[in-house]
Amino acid sequence: MSADQPFKSQFLKTMQERGYIHQITHPVELDEAASKGPITAYIGFDATASSLHVGHMIQIMMLRRLQQAGHKPIVLMGGGTTKVGDPTFKDTQRPLLTDEQIKANIDSMKVSFARFLTFGDGPTDAVMVDNADWLDKLGYVQFLRDYGVHFTINRMLTFDSVKLRLEREQPMTFLEFNYMLMQATDFLELERTHGCVLQMGGSDQWGNIINGVELIRRVDQKPSFGLTTPLLSTASGQKMGKTVGGAVWLNADMRSPYDYWQFWRNTEDADVGRFMKLFTDLSMEDIARYEAMQGADINEAKKVLANEATRMLHGEEAAHAAAEAARVAFEVGSVSGDMPTFEIAAADLEAGVVLAALATDAGLAASRGEARRLAQGGGLRVNDAAEADANRTITSADLVDGVVKLAAGKKKIVLVKPV
């Protein structure tokens, strides 16, 4: 964990210099193991949504670094744990997902993983597993006898996740309390079936990861390791990952490559270097050059960051198109076909549509009232002209080059196209 003694293994060296490491259970031993030969490591992902989002990127990138350094990554999908439902959000009882939904989610997420990892049967090829495969089969009594004996309540109560809850006098259910045991058995299972020796995750997972390490040591008398990443926030203290218009999904059908590019383009100055290290494959030397940029020049670095990040996820072509669309939109002030579009029946447009309704349907506002407020505040623009009256009708007379350009604020742009 300390930066004082340099790591020997390529993997940890990279991890450290690029800023992925927050804590490691046994840094020296892990370094030793990783420098001797290929090791296997895993990260767990929930299957609650049909797409991963940028918040998952740091984890995905860790697995990528692992594979790049000649080791074997395992993607653990929480098919089993998702079935129970994450109890952390106790306020809103989230509707439980069906087996089919979970399966569909996993399939859908796999697409994104495949952009960053090479899957297959080779020694360093990534594999994907689903903890439903073993959690579903657990017998309660058997589970208690096999694993329950290795956990003391005394210790479990010392974990931050539990302690915080108790201090705030918030309820913690027994189910939730058992969660850490289930996660620990995941690690044990992977250690036995795949020879997995390392679990990685966000810093909030530290306690859970330790439990797994501990369990393996007690049950199988084998060493294993845990590594966590720092909590990612922007330089100004915001939680990383949100943007105008909600979650930044990785799947192209949920968030366009254009939006994804925009997300990275809007990175804060102070974060550019850090994000480049974490989210691109650029060399440390290149990054150092970009990091040195000052003032407005740093915008060039942001473009590079956006290009690289988008290229990895959506491919070279999509990245180019997104960059070009952005250039046209912001630097030329014109329109480009790669901007998000909203299709409307030509007949409807011919007849005329109330602007507030159109802006709402096109996704620029959540309701007509919001569109009205937006217009009154001067944030709604039609063909680049601010329009304070959201009640005016938009007709085919407003078409410019075959589209009506609607914008909410400076960055949310939608082209309305008659079909």
Residue 267 as a binder of RNA (CB under 7 A): the answer is yes
Contact 81, 179 (CB under 8 A): yes
- Find the shortest distance in angstroms from Cβ 69 to RNA: 32
The footprint of RNA on residues 13-32 (CB under 7 A) is none
CB of 330 to RNA, least distance (A): 4
Residue 199 contacts residue 212 (beta carbons within 8 Å): yes
Asked if residue 51 binds RNA (CB under 7 A), the reply is no
> Is 405 tagged catalytic?
no
Q: Does position 262 bind RNA by CB under 7 A?
A: yes
> Any contact of residue 356 with RNA (CB under 7 A)?
yes
Task: Respond yes or no: is residue 411 known to be catalytic.
Answer: no
Span of 39-47, 62-70, 117-125, 374-382 interacting with RNA by CB under 7 A: 374-382
Q: Is 284 helix (H, G, I), strand (E, B) or coil?
A: helix
In 114-254 the beta strands, taken as DSSP E runs, fall at 127-130, 198-202, 225-229, 242-243, 246-247
Supply the DSSP string of 55-118, one letter for each residue.
GGHHHHHHHHHHHHTT-EEEEEE-HHHHHH--TT--SS-PPPPPHHHHHHHHHHHHHHHHHHS-
- 314 interacts with RNA by CB under 7 A: no
- Tell me whether residue 314 is one of the annotated catalytic residues: no
At 141 the three-state DSSP class reads helix
User: Using the rule CB under 7 A, is 295 a contact of RNA?
Assistant: yes
What is the smallest separation between the CB atom of 416 and RNA, expressed in angstroms?
18
CA 315 – CA 320 distance, rounded (Å): 9
Is the distance from CB of 267 to CB of 243 less than 8 angstroms? no
88 binds RNA (CB under 7 A): no
CB of 240 to RNA, least distance (A): 11
Pick the closer one to RNA by CB: 72 or 314: 314
* Choice from 17, 146, 268, 291 touching RNA (CB under 7 A): 268
Q: Which residue has the tokens 């998952």?
A: 56
Interaction between residue 366 and RNA (CB under 7 A):
yes
Residue 13 CB, nearest approach to RNA (Å): 30
- For the question of residue 81 being annotated catalytic, the response is no
Catalytic position from the list 90, 194, 320, 411: 90
Distances (CA, A) of 71 to 98, 125, 198: 34, 8, 11
Which of 110, 218, 242, 320 binds RNA (CB under 7 A)? It is: 242
Residue 4: C-alpha distances to residues 1, 23, 140, 327 (Å):
9, 14, 46, 44
Q: Identify which of 197, 157, 150, 180 has the alpha carbon closest to the alpha carbon of residue 33.
A: 197
| CB-nearer residue toward RNA: 91 or 285 | 91
Considering the complex, what minimum distance in angstroms separates the CB of residue 256 from RNA? 14
325, burial (CB in 10 Å: exposed 0-12, middle 13-18, buried 19+): buried
CB 209 within 8 A of CB 226: yes
Chain residues binding RNA by CB under 7 A are: 91-92, 169-171, 235-238, 242-245, 262, 265-269, 295-296, 298-299, 302, 326-327, 329-331, 354, 356-357, 360, 366-370, 372-374, 377-379, 391, 408-412
